[in-house]
Amino acid sequence: MAPIETAPKLYGMMAEFETAEQLIEAASRTRSAGYKKFDCYTPFPVHGLTEAMGVEEAKVPWTVFVCGLIGAMALFGLQVYISVIDYPLNVGGRDFLSWPYFIPITFEGMVLFAAFGAFIGMLAYNGLPAPYHPVFNVPQFARASTDRFFLCIESKDPNFQHDRVYEFLQSLNPVRISEVEA
């Protein structure tokens, strides 16, 4: 019977595990128990966890794709505008629209924009930077970036009832259960 720490106002209830496998197990059981608003915290990307939680998304890849497209078109357009429309010059007898010469920069533009898409997209969708987050109120959570695995059911969840959640978490036999102060 793990001890419980109470908190005045609840963000959610957090269970702490020792191994990734236990967490995966717990995540799938939490999901089948019908909880929607819960999240897992791990020191490294644990493969199979999101599947267990039933999270599917591909926002980042699409963002990257679109940004890359924009980048390529922007820089090709820039070169054409400059060399053909705005200030055409006879350079070594080459055609004004000597497009093969424009390919390298077009490509670089694609990569540059796409890279920013990936980086900024990732942060944006993750809502980072987030200087404050309730989970940090749990002292043990410091180990979330080292060697412990956490599962937190949030109080926003419609089925969230303090005792029910506590019993449920107990049934996952975690190392410890803590209430997360909002």
Partner 1 sequence: MEKPTNGQSTGEKFWRSLNELAESPEFEEQLAREFPRHAQPLSDFVSRRQFLKLMGASMALAGLSACGYKPQGPIISQAKTPPEHLPGESLYFATALAVSGFGMGVLAKSYEGRPIKLEGNPNHPASLGATNAITQAMLLDLYDPDRSQNVLKFGRIEPWTTFAAELLQKIAIQNAKQGAGVRILTGAITSPTLADQIQQFLKANPKAQWYQYEAVSWENLYEGTRLAFGEWLYPIYRLDQAQVLVALDSDLLYTGAGAVRYAHDFMQGRKVRKEQMRMNRLFVAEPMFTVTGMTADERLPIQSSKIARLAYEIARLLDAPVQAEPSGELTPEEQKWVQVVAGELKAHAGESLIVVGEAQPPAVHAIAHAINQVLGNIGKTVVFIAPPEAKPTLHTQDIRQLAQELQNNAVEMLIMLGVNPAYDAPADLNFTELIPKVPFSVHLGAYVDETAALCVWHVPETHPLEAWGDVRAFDGTVTIQQPLIYPLYANTRTALELMALINGQSGKQTYELVRAYWQKASGLTPAQFDSFWRKSVHDGVVPRTARPVKPVALKQSPLVVQLPEPLGAVQATNTLEIRFAPDPTIYDGRFANNAWLQELPKPVTRTCWDNLAFMSLNTFKALGLWGKATYAWHEDVSFVRDQVPLIEIQLNGKSLIVAAYPIPGHVDKALTLHLGYGRIRAGAKGSGAGFNAYTLRTTTDLWFARDAEVIPTRQSYAVARTEEHHLIDTRQKDPELDSTAHRPILLTGTLEEFRQDPELKNKSHREGYTHELPSMYPERHRYDRYENPDNYRYAWGMVIDPTLCTGCSACVTACQAENNIPVVGKEEVVRRREMLWLRIDRYFKGSPENPKVYQAPVPCMQCENAGCELVCPVAATVHDHEGLNVMVYNRCVGTRYCSNNCPYKVRRFNFYRYSYMKSPVLHLMQNPDVTVRGRGVMEKCTYCVQRISKARITAKRENRRIRDGEVVPACQQACPTGAIVFGDLNDPNSKVRQWREQPHNFAILGELNYRPRTTYLAKIDNPHPELSGAEVSHAGSH
Partner 2 sequence: MQEAIKNRVQEFPLFEGQQTYERITDQIARIPENPHPPAWRVVFGIGAVGTLLLVTTLVWLVAIGTGIWGINQPVAWGFDIINFVWWIGIGHAGTLISAILLLLRQSWRMSINRFSEAMTIFAVMCAGLFPLFHTGRPWVAYWLFPLPNWLAIWPQFRSPLEWDVFAVSTYFTVSVLFWYMGLIPDLATMRDRAKSTLAKVVHGILSWGWRGSAVHWLRYEQAYLLLAGLSTPLVLSVHSIVSLDFAISIVPGWHVTIFPPYFVAGAIFSGFAMVLTLVIPFRILYPGLREYITMNHIDWMAKVMLATGWIVFYGYLCEMFFGWYSANQFEQFLVVNRFFGPYWLAYWALIFCNGIVPQLLWFPKIRHNLLILFLISIVVNIGMWFERFVIIVVSLHRDFMSSAWGQYAPTVWDWRMYLGTIGFFVMMMFLFARFVPMLAIAELKDIWHRLYYGHSGHNGHGKQPNPVPMGKGGES
Q: In angstroms, rounded to a whole number, what is the distance separating the alpha carbons of residues 152 and 145?
A: 15
Count interface residues toward partner 1 (CB under 8 A).
9
Q: Which residue has the tokens 């717990």?
A: 26
Q: Binding string, 151-170, against partner 2, x = CB under 8 A?
A: --------------------
Pairing of β 4-5 and β 176-181: parallel
146 binds partner 2 (CB under 8 A): yes
Token pair of 160 as six digits: 């969230």
Contact positions with partner 1 (CB under 8 A) in 50-89: 89
Q: Are 71 and 108 in contact (CB under 8 A)?
A: no
Q: Which stretch binds partner 2 (CB under 8 A): 2-10, 50-58, 161-169, 173-181?
A: 50-58
Minimal distance in Å, beta carbon 163 to partner 2?
26
Q: Candidates 7, 46, 66, 70: give the one binding partner 2 (CB under 8 A).
A: 46
Residue choice 3, 8, 92, 158 for contact with partner 1 (CB under 8 A): 92
126 sits near partner 2 (criterion: CB under 8 A): yes
* Burial tier of 13 (Cβ tally within 10 Å: 0-12, 13-18, 19+): buried
C-alpha of 159 from chain center: 25
Residue ranges in contact with partner 1 by CB under 8 A: 89-95, 98, 100
